[in-house]
Structure 1
Amino acid sequence: MFERANQKSSSQGRSVKLPGKSARHSDAKPVEIARELRAKSALGKREAQLAKAEAKLSG
């Protein structure tokens, strides 16, 4: 019989390298990492500015 692991066997999580930072171990999910990268990108900053301007216009 074979057993399946529901989680990673290592307790360190995955190694994450973000731009401008050194590699670190994180338990963050890949989707959360991608959202963080998008928010810090030029496109993400521009989207935040547009959302802020739209909120200002709508009241």
Structure 2
Amino acid sequence: MAIEKSTERRAKSKRTIKLPGKVERYANTDPVDIARELRSKSRLGQREAKLDAAEKKLAQ
């Protein structure tokens, strides 16, 4: 199972971010935002999006 890693952000420095299959980079991105992006791109996130769309369609 691939896991994203993110160091703690210090005063004025940027956070080190390592995502699965990508090189390490530096950014001010919040770890929660990183996790949300990864989840939306995952199979589970795509299934949840389809389910939400179907529920909205039924609600109309």
Letter in 2 for 1:8: R
| Structure 2 stretches lacking a partner, 5+ long | 1-8
Using the TM superposition, name which of 39-48 and 15-24 deviates more: 15-24
Identity of aligned residues (%): 54
CA distance in 2, matches of 1:20, 1:58: 39
CA distance in 2, matches of 1:19, 1:45: 18
Per the alignment, residue 8 of structure 1 pairs with 10
CA RMSD of aligned residues (A): 1.8
**Structure with bigger gyration radius:** 1
Per the alignment, residue 37 of structure 2 pairs with 36
| Structure 1 stretches lacking a partner, 5+ long | 1-6
Task: Give the C-alpha shift of residue 47 in structure 1.
Answer: 0.2
Task: Give the C-alpha shift of residue 31 in structure 1.
Answer: 0.8
Greater RCO (Cα-Cα under 8 Å, separation 6 or more): 2
**Total equivalences in the alignment:** 52
Q: SS where residue 52 of structure 1 aligns?
A: helix
Task: Give the C-alpha shift of residue 8 in structure 1.
Answer: 1.2
Task: Give the C-alpha shift of residue 33 in structure 1.
Answer: 0.7
